[in-house]
Amino acid sequence: MTSTCTHAPSLSGDYPVDHHHVQNPRREELSHLWFGKIPSFSVPMGVLVPVRVEDFLVADKAVSTSWEMNGGTRLQPVIMGLGQAAGALAAIAAKTGRHPSGVPAAEVQAVLLDHGCYLLPFLDLKPTDPGFRDLQEKGVRGEVRGTGRSVGWANETWVNLPEDE
């Protein structure tokens, strides 16, 4: 694998469910989905691996999610990260002779980090900054947690929130 990742989060997102609820005939049942700012979330690698089909991966909008989660994973930055993860997973499986379902997520995460990808969308450090990999690994292990904030239409996740200017 010689290509490098773009600097988009891999296997994470922060988009709201946006399936135009007012047009849904069951919208009264969906009141729990009306929310404000969205904290960042992780997408499990298992959404890429079909349960009943070996040696096949899905990515893009074909990943296995509920319709509610599809509203948060269908946008390009999340889709791009899922594609990066699927590519890394496929390469590891092919190179090592394993089925994709037998490749631990930690191996895929290591390859993504080797190529400058985000695992979590912490904005504190860029992939070229010292400590970026360590922060990402600590976040994946749950040793540090980000805090979300809304800035205009954007959601941001910081370990150490910047002071407002």
CA 41 to the chain's CA centroid: 7
- Determine the pLDDT at residue 1: 32
- Closest to 68 in 3D by CA, of 37, 27, 40, 128: 27
- Determine the pLDDT at residue 146: 87
Helix (H) or strand (E) holding 72: helix 67-73
What is the token pair recorded at 87?
């590519």
State residue 158 phi and psi, 5-degree precision. -130, 145
Determine the Cα–Cα distance for residues 39 and 149; give it in Å rounded to an integer: 8
Determine the Cα–Cα distance for residues 66 and 121; give it in Å rounded to an integer: 22
- Determine the pLDDT at residue 38: 63
Taking only the tens of pLDDT, the chain with its 165 residues reads: 333 444 333 456 666 665 555 666 666 666 555 455 566 777 888 889 988 888 999 988 888 887 777 777 877 888 888 999 999 999 999 999 999 999 999 999 999 999 999 998 889 999 999 999 999 999 988 899 888 777 766 678 889 877 765
Q: Per DSSP, what are the bridge partners of residue 147?
A: 158
Determine the Cα–Cα distance for residues 21 and 66; give it in Å rounded to an integer: 15
Strand ranges inside the chain, DSSP E? 12-13, 41-42, 147-151, 154-158
Question: What's the whole-model pTM score?
Answer: 0.78
Domains of the chain by residue range: 12-121
